[in-house]
Chains A and B, each alone.
Chain A
Amino acid sequence: MINLHHYLVASAALFVIGFVGMVTRRNAILLLLSIEILFNAANLALVAASRYLGNLNGQILVFFSMTVAAAEVSVGLAIAILLVRHLKTLNADEVRLLKW
């Protein structure tokens, strides 16, 4: 029987994968993908909790979260394109415009 614990463990696993990807990858596109994995980890946990508690709040929140994720990806990809155009690179280490 698959219960809440399995879902949460899966969610935590996804989160760690996403986070490690975000810290270790240097390519901006891969960073965006990692962030998507993070989102989905959170979404999975929300849906599982919603099911477990027997109300719909978690699932409604997931819809919002997916909408925001879609918008975020579009902005993120736009930034990636601009990076390629202006800095000729997608390497996150070389983009240090936020430094002091």
Chain B
Amino acid sequence: MVAGRLLTLAWVAWFAPLAACLMITLVGLQRRRRAATLAVGSLLLSFLCAVTLWWHSLHGAALPLQQAFSWIRFDGFEVPLGILLDPLSILMLLVVTGVGSAIFIYSTGYMHDDPGYPRYFACLSLFAFAMLGIVLADNWITLFISWELVGLASYLLIGFWYQRPAAADAGKKAFMVNRVADFGFLLGILLLWSVSDPLGGAHRTFALPALKDVIEHGYLPQNLLNIGALLIFCGVLGKSAQMPLHVWLPDAMEGPTPVSALIHAATMVAAGVYLLCRVFFLFDAAPIALSVVAWVGGITAFLAGCMAFVQNDLKRILAYSTLSQLGYMVMAAGLGGPVAAMYHLTTHACFKALLFLGAGSVIHALHEQEIWKMGGLLKTMPVTGGTFLIGAAALAGFPGLSGFWSKDEILALAWHQNWLLCIVAIVTAGLTALYMGRACFVVFFGQPRSHLPRPANHAGRGGHAHESPPVMTVPLVVLAVFTIIAGYLGIPEYLHQLHGVQVGFNEIVAVISVLAMSTGLWLAYQIYYRQVMTEQQLIQRGMAVYQALVDKLGFDTFYDWLVLRVQQTAAKLCSLFERFILIGTLVNGTGWVTRTAGGLLRLCQTGRVQFYVLVFLFGMTALIYVNVLR
């Protein structure tokens, strides 16, 4: 197919969800079925376009393709709107639309009884549009606009149940944390724009391929690249929820579960990792920034894994495990392996979406999120349970499943590049198996714990768990299939054009990671299945560590302190300065001087015309004396 057709397909894939969003908001807010049909239909159309693009890219289409329009043009400053098609963006397109379609369809079942159903689908479509914008963008501006739109969609969907204060607060928190991060991102974009013309001015550009050329020709000094890359990485910190800006992601679980699956596990939070891979040419030329990226990723992976272990809410366990896996991906990118990062991103999108949708199915059935009130669900919900276990096994790195292959790629990379980070990563792999084993054994095995009293309005179906309807289980099965086979689809080979280190499969690392996983799984089996000790005894043994982890290592406390004490004090000082110096002295002072002078001067105006005449006489006399007689 000719290049133009491929580009048209990409534009269609990008704008179809926007069309759906606009149609739903304009005409469909009262029509539930039509809203869902529009949203699902448009995303399926995008998915179809993505599959076509992928097929052509495998069969000899000349990539990369780029098409850009000039959107706003000033003298020496041009804001473009354009797309870039290469294997990286096509793969991400497939992930977003594919996983997205499964989740959209699942949502039609999960959200069925919600009064905000059409609004939900409008927001989801907006999200899909924004996310595809990040994926396809060929320049910083398109990327940044989409990046912010994704943040907006995320805010709208986290706070979807805005009647609940927790949800509204979580939405605000996510938005603000992302704004803080995006400030750095924007600075980075402007910095890189300002140096993007090696000849010094007239042809500065936002386009990524042009920047790539400039950097690869070595026109830019390394210090500048390090600063630019670190500023860009700021944006990644926020969007991909890396330490220390990870605090919004666990709270984002207040949103509807399919939203958590799509946005806060599979796609949006992966946007940061995608960005790292997209502009890897920049990080590749900035070694200091690259090692910062690697360490931030490694530390996040480990600490989030620890925190996942002490959570009691099923969705929060998954949220922390998402943080941990994102840490893996960021670490992989930081170790110079964007291929490994993208590989793990793809497989993780499949199995983490699967896990969240499984959790959603459980929550839908039980109206309960705390794992200690669940149990034995494998019998009552076989499809959900089975697929969840497949997802958990893939996450833990069970040999043969997709997570095993992609995680091995990252571990092998770490083995090759940095032994310290390799140890961190392997310990984290063990932790992953431990906390996923904990969640699975507690929720799906053992005895049902549903004898607890239930709210009256759920009495009809709350008492006994039941399997979810097919509209929810079919996406689970589809995702489970992809979770199993994604390791064999040749994703690393597909991305071979990316720069960076590629080490391939490493048997020694594989054995070590399987050992770590088995240890974690064995511990979980002993504690939570055979119950050699209860959770309470475990907590008492490691009280200090447990408390620190439950307190989220003080991050939230620190931010509270930062906002309540530091920022509030600064704000009060500024307020005092404004009230007394600016308003009190300068503004009102000027007014006072004018009024007083006026008050004095108007005493001259007596209203007696003859007085004026006299003053006039004296004035004239004085003038004549000065001008004529002297």
Question: Which A residues are closer than 8 A to B by beta carbons?
Answer: 19, 22-23, 31, 92-93, 95-100
* 6 CB-based A-B contacts, threshold 8 Å: A23-B610, A23-B617, A93-B610, A98-B607, A100-B605, A100-B607
Shortest distance from the beta carbon of B600 to any chain A beta carbon, whole Å: 12
Chain B residues closer than 8 Å to A97, beta-carbon distance: 607
Q: State whether B607 touches A96 (Cβ < 8 A).
A: yes
B451 interface hit (Cβ, 8 Å): no
Instruction: Look across to chain A and name the residue whose beta carbon is closest to the beta carbon of B610.
Output: A23
B544 interface hit (Cβ, 8 Å): no
Q: State whether A98 touches B613 (Cβ < 8 A).
A: no
B602 interface hit (Cβ, 8 Å): yes
Q: A97-B607, A99-B607 provided; 5 other pairs, C-beta below 8 A?
A: A19-B613, A23-B613, A31-B610, A92-B609, A98-B605
Instruction: Look across to chain B and name the residue whose beta carbon is closest to the beta carbon of A24.
Output: B610
Shortest distance from the beta carbon of B452 to any chain A beta carbon, whole Å: 83
Chain B residues closer than 8 Å to A99, beta-carbon distance: 605-607
Chain A residues closer than 8 Å to B605, beta-carbon distance: 98-100
Shortest distance from the beta carbon of A69 to any chain B beta carbon, whole Å: 17
B459 interface hit (Cβ, 8 Å): no
Q: State whether A100 touches B608 (Cβ < 8 A).
A: no
Chain A residues closer than 8 Å to B609, beta-carbon distance: 92, 95, 98
Instruction: Look across to chain A and name the residue whose beta carbon is closest to the beta carbon of B614.
Output: A23
Q: State whether B610 touches A22 (Cβ < 8 A).
A: yes
Q: State whether B608 touches A96 (Cβ < 8 A).
A: yes
Shortest distance from the beta carbon of A99 to any chain B beta carbon, whole Å: 3
Chain B residues closer than 8 Å to A31, beta-carbon distance: 610
- Within B600-625, the residues touching A (CB, 8 Å) are 602, 605-610, 613-614, 617
Instruction: Look across to chain A and name the residue whose beta carbon is closest to the beta carbon of B611.
Output: A23
Question: Which B residues are closer than 8 A to A by beta carbons?
Answer: 602, 605-610, 613-614, 617
Shortest distance from the beta carbon of A11 to any chain B beta carbon, whole Å: 15
Chain B residues closer than 8 Å to A96, beta-carbon distance: 606-608
CA distance A31 to B608 in the complex (A): 13
Chain B residues closer than 8 Å to A23, beta-carbon distance: 610, 613-614, 617
CA distance A96 to B605 in the complex (A): 10
Shortest distance from the beta carbon of A12 to any chain B beta carbon, whole Å: 12
Chain B residues closer than 8 Å to A95, beta-carbon distance: 607, 609
Chain A residues closer than 8 Å to B607, beta-carbon distance: 95-100
Chain A residues closer than 8 Å to B610, beta-carbon distance: 22-23, 31, 92-93
Instruction: Look across to chain B and name the residue whose beta carbon is closest to the beta carbon of A22.
Output: B613
Q: State whether A100 touches B614 (Cβ < 8 A).
A: no
CA distance A95 to B608 in the complex (A): 7
CA distance A22 to B613 in the complex (A): 8
Shortest distance from the beta carbon of A8 to any chain B beta carbon, whole Å: 14
Shortest distance from the beta carbon of B604 to any chain A beta carbon, whole Å: 9
Instruction: Look across to chain B and name the residue whose beta carbon is closest to the beta carbon of A98.
Output: B607
What 4 pairs between A and B have smallest CB-CB spacing?
A99-B607, A96-B607, A100-B602, A98-B607
Shortest distance from the beta carbon of B204 to any chain A beta carbon, whole Å: 62
CA distance A99 to B613 in the complex (A): 15
Chain B residues closer than 8 Å to A92, beta-carbon distance: 608-610
Instruction: Look across to chain A and name the residue whose beta carbon is closest to the beta carbon of B612.
Output: A98
CA distance A21 to B605 in the complex (A): 22
Shortest distance from the beta carbon of B597 to any chain A beta carbon, whole Å: 14
CA distance A22 to B609 in the complex (A): 10
Q: State whether B613 touches A93 (Cβ < 8 A).
A: no
Instruction: Look across to chain A and name the residue whose beta carbon is closest to the beta carbon of B599.
Output: A100
Interface core residue of A95, A96, A98, A100 (most chain B CB under 10 Å): A100
Chain A residues closer than 8 Å to B617, beta-carbon distance: 19, 23
Shortest distance from the beta carbon of A98 to any chain B beta carbon, whole Å: 5
Shortest distance from the beta carbon of B482 to any chain A beta carbon, whole Å: 87
Instruction: Look across to chain B and name the residue whose beta carbon is closest to the beta carbon of A93.
Output: B608
CA distance A31 to B614 in the complex (A): 13
Shortest distance from the beta carbon of A80 to any chain B beta carbon, whole Å: 13
CA distance A23 to B607 in the complex (A): 14
Shortest distance from the beta carbon of A59 to any chain B beta carbon, whole Å: 25
Chain A residues closer than 8 Å to B602, beta-carbon distance: 100
Shortest distance from the beta carbon of B167 to any chain A beta carbon, whole Å: 63
CA distance A8 to B609 in the complex (A): 28
CA distance A31 to B609 in the complex (A): 11
Chain B residues closer than 8 Å to A22, beta-carbon distance: 610, 613
CA distance A74 to B560 in the complex (A): 83
Instruction: Look across to chain A and name the residue whose beta carbon is closest to the beta carbon of B604.
Output: A100
CA distance A76 to B606 in the complex (A): 21
Shortest distance from the beta carbon of A75 to any chain B beta carbon, whole Å: 15
Instruction: Look across to chain B and name the residue whose beta carbon is closest to the beta carbon of A20.
Output: B617
CA distance A34 to B607 in the complex (A): 20
Chain A residues closer than 8 Å to B606, beta-carbon distance: 96, 99
Chain B residues closer than 8 Å to A100, beta-carbon distance: 602, 605, 607
Instruction: Look across to chain A and name the residue whose beta carbon is closest to the beta carbon of B598.
Output: A100
CA distance A78 to B172 in the complex (A): 75
CA distance A100 to B609 in the complex (A): 13
Interface core residue of B605, B610, B614, B617 (most chain A CB under 10 Å): B610
Instruction: Look across to chain A and name the residue whose beta carbon is closest to the beta carbon of B607.
Output: A99
CA distance A92 to B614 in the complex (A): 14
CA distance A22 to B610 in the complex (A): 7
Shortest distance from the beta carbon of B613 to any chain A beta carbon, whole Å: 6
Shortest distance from the beta carbon of A38 to any chain B beta carbon, whole Å: 10
Shortest distance from the beta carbon of B599 to any chain A beta carbon, whole Å: 10
Shortest distance from the beta carbon of A28 to any chain B beta carbon, whole Å: 10
CA distance A23 to B610 in the complex (A): 5
Chain B residues closer than 8 Å to A19, beta-carbon distance: 613, 617
Shortest distance from the beta carbon of A35 to any chain B beta carbon, whole Å: 10
Shortest distance from the beta carbon of B603 to any chain A beta carbon, whole Å: 8
Chain A residues closer than 8 Å to B614, beta-carbon distance: 23
Instruction: Look across to chain A and name the residue whose beta carbon is closest to the beta carbon of B601.
Output: A100
